[in-house]
Structure 1
């Protein structure tokens, strides 16, 4: 099934094709979101002093935290993604984007697919809110229709930018054209990897916690290198274009950490030009 054939039968896919994003979409109850947040913060309380653990929250946490792998496989999420990408779905990564209360952290305007080394434009990011994401807390912002543009980027390395290199589009974005993607805990937005997106600092007294799950169809391929890995979460992988990730066996188990290290290092060489974790 092609993305075009899927989109023809799906209002969500139609809106996605038109605007490059759709929100809000309910994918779990507020109580379930609160439980996932509790499990995250319990892990942070135990392991948060470890630099490698903090890196894991931003690179493939689904390889070392079973409850993150569980979220990526929830049918409430993957059924929506399948409306756009078809039934056979891989997770390329699932990083957390966490803004602490009353901090300056922000995300500059950028396009994800500029960096990812894929030969396809078929990609959907599901941004799942585990805490309130509002204009005040720095929710995601999108420019509708910008997924149809290809623009240059530059690296700024700004200290408060949550992106690894502070990467941003090398064009001026009219803020008045942006849409705030406000979400309640348990809701998600979905966006195309080419749509312009950004977010402001968190000016509230609560953390803004979001999980950005990067979904691609199993038929996708790389154009850079050949060592990237992905996790099959729905359907079948009849192509074998990516190294297969394996689900975690427990919470931060030694074998899973070794697996994470291997996968993350290969990812960095391709997606960020060798940038370290």
Structure 2
């Protein structure tokens, strides 16, 4: 029996490729997570950038707690089953009035995973609406196969390679997914999705957590790593990532750097690039 989602909600996710809004951590916890992020940024004297926006749960204990939060994992288990890895996580931060955007794409394009049994839980830490550049999706597009993409490396595109779908996407088919802080959306790895620039006077902060069942494998890179967040791993396809010993500790930074280097080899393969874009 499902733990959180109704059978009807699970069917909608399987039919449409997305589900929102899903109540997860609540507004108070979202504000607390945003506060910790911005306290770190103030300490560093700059916004979180580059590789630090990727797999950030390996750097901070509080984000490692977030990817394991039962309010999130119960939802994921209802769709993917009881044995779960967090394969990656990413901050998608659009500053107020910034031209940053996300082009139409499928997540599965460069991830190198063996099958599309992958869910992203996009947790809003600030208001995500049409003015601030919330996500928009094409319902049912996840039922298509992997489609061709082209790399743009556009400086304002928040994706790793500035990748975009190489065929025209009809905007009239798109559905917007506004979220309040503490709510989340779920989307399938092959769903067509994008988001426009933030035209509001506040930052738009989202934390995207990518979950896979433990039977999924990495097939294009050397042995990959992931964080076991629920159940057990009977396959051994991924090295198990430890919790950070303390926030932004030297040990956590060293592990994150090693994992990021390996991830870059997968995400930027055949481009000649060796670091995440700032």
TM-score range, shorter chain: over 0.9
Q: Considering only aligned residues, what root-mean-square deviation do their CA atoms show, in Å?
A: 1.9
1:258 aligns with 2:258: no
1:46 aligns with 2:73: no
CA contact (8 A) 1:124 1:190 kept: yes
Structure 1 residue corresponding to 2:235, chosen from 222, 234, 239: 239
SS at match of 1:57: helix
Partners of 2:66 and 2:179 in 1: how far apart? 17
1:68 aligns with 2:63: yes
SS at match of 1:25: strand
CA contact (8 A) 2:160 2:267 kept: no
Q: What's 2:27 paired with?
A: 30
> What TM-score comes out, normalization by structure 1 length?
0.93
Partners of 2:266 and 2:224 in 1: how far apart? 8
Q: What's 1:224 paired with?
A: 220
Q: What's 1:82 paired with?
A: 77
- Cα offset for 1:77? 0.7
Contiguous gaps of at least 5 residues in structure 1:
none
Q: What's 2:196 paired with?
A: 200
- Cα offset for 1:174? 0.7
Q: What's 1:215 paired with?
A: 211
Structure 2 residue corresponding to 1:11, chosen from 2, 8, 24: 8
1:128 aligns with 2:123: yes
Partners of 1:56 and 1:248 in 2: how far apart? 16
